Chains A and B, each alone.
Chain A
């Protein structure tokens, strides 16, 4: 959390995260070159580095795309999510170095500007096998650039989380383009079965992991795979029964879907409060967070909100919608209509008798 923009709000976790990330990347690149040199001294070293940068970026993209769904399946992976944007920027830099070297090596020193040559040398845009795979990589690089350039919280706040999030979902389009770039480029030149297998397994892993996660999320929300979800019963006062207080561990929440939106219902200090499940920072799932120091704490980046107002503790200023809540016996009733972000709501007190 922050009240002012800093390049990076460093802490020990981020240092450790970045040291492991960068050491692995640098070690990968030099191992790639060193192993190549073991086989021949008459190498096209530029070509080796183009492959090293490209393969490192592609492998890192698989790791990045796995972290989200893995974190949904188990909170054990949340530490990998914490600084994922540094991984994304690192991946973009690797892709940029791959493109820089490929442009210089394959397109410079000729009779066209390298960037022009990249898009007009092979014009078989309507032919699958002869398709100019370079263009796919070029479009993907533009998407990755937009994501890297807007990765800072400055852009997250100013674009608003939904717009920022939609922009950053572009990573899936970039991944699809890059799979095409690899399949129609490197795999057409190098038909070794291991490479085809590795790219295929990577693709199945990414798609399968996301499908499994989506199915589990749908199950948790009580949404059927096909058709409309059952409409919750709204009482005369406009409240919906979301279950018993006994279903919720202390300082934790249960998530209910009300009017198509997830609501986090927290139990703490013998009370119940309900707020939007969506963290204002990166739309993290607040209902999977915990009450820490009296504040709802987001599991993704530790953003905090007071449970009875949805406002971040001073000096922070984030606000999220709250929901009126009451109890009937041990049953929790939550208003079907949210309050404006930051509206104070008296918690429902659990009758200890």
Chain B
């Protein structure tokens, strides 16, 4: 190939870049590259709920009372002087996947167990991805059963139904539209649903959901997760948690 007319530059890929064109590209390509890279610096801090306090904790095992309704949970006696607060902490239980705890775990419902798993907690909501549970003797001293729970009255609350495993810290954000299908998978697999409500002070309140018979509502709320929902029902203080008891057919999409 002969050399090109320097007054009439023409780019041919396999021949190299003419000088004036090269000068243009040496100015333009760095701007293009830096413009694209700028998004790697701008986008991460803007991520919604990406840096919340939900985290994995390192406690590998717990001893407490395994309860099956409305959703599987473990009641762990609180140590020390608890004052007027409940004698028990309530930890939700899931399996290691998008599932409820394994049948080998759930066969020990209503028994005291030594439970092994990976706990995640966000604020005062804790879930344990349960690996195993072995029956143990109830403690020799202290309470061995929580109170039945006390009704705080009927409330109409607005919030979002999330799955009780991703939201406490497995995923961030473990809620809203982008997480909807994952939450549907989790709830249909048996992960406890949790109703997240923000009160006027901006605090996050968490409610376990139960139908009027005290049973789980998982399969009845799959169509309502990740959307703003209003639930009207009886709020029950149970251990250190709240249970919201209502007919899922009355849940209202806002």
Contact = CB atoms under 8 A, between A and B. Distances in A.
Interface of A: 11-14, 20, 24, 27-29, 31-32, 35-36, 39-40, 42-44, 46-48, 51-52, 55, 59-60, 63, 75-76, 78-79, 82-83, 105-107, 109-112, 117-118, 121-122, 130, 132-134, 184-186, 188-192, 194-195, 198, 249, 251-252, 289-290, 292-293, 297, 299, 301-302
A198 B96 CA distance: 38
B19 interface: no
A297 B2 CA distance: 13
Give the secondary structure class of A's interface.
helix
Interface stretch (B45-53, B200-208, B230-238): B45-53
Contacts of B45: 35, 39
Nearest to B253: A130
Contact of B13 (A47, A188, A301): A301
Contact of A36 (B25, B33, B50): B50
Interface string B225-254: 001000000000000000000000000000
A299 B13 CA distance: 9
A290 B2 CA distance: 13
B150 interface: no
Interface of B: 1-2, 4-5, 8, 10-17, 21, 24-25, 28-29, 32-33, 36-37, 39-48, 50-51, 53-56, 96-99, 169-173, 176-182, 184-186, 188-189, 227
A249 to B, nearest CB: 7
Nearest to B4: A292
A189 B173 contact: yes
A59 B181 CA distance: 25
A105 B10 contact: no
B8 A249 contact: yes
A111 B189 contact: yes
Given A47-B50, A78-B11, A251-B8, A32 B44 contact: yes
B112 to A, nearest CB: 29
Contacts, number: 172
A198 B42 CA distance: 11
Contacts of B54: 42
A301 B14 CA distance: 8
A35 B45 CA distance: 8
A225 to B, nearest CB: 31
A195 B47 CA distance: 10
Given A47-B50, A110-B185, A122-B181, A24 B36 contact: yes
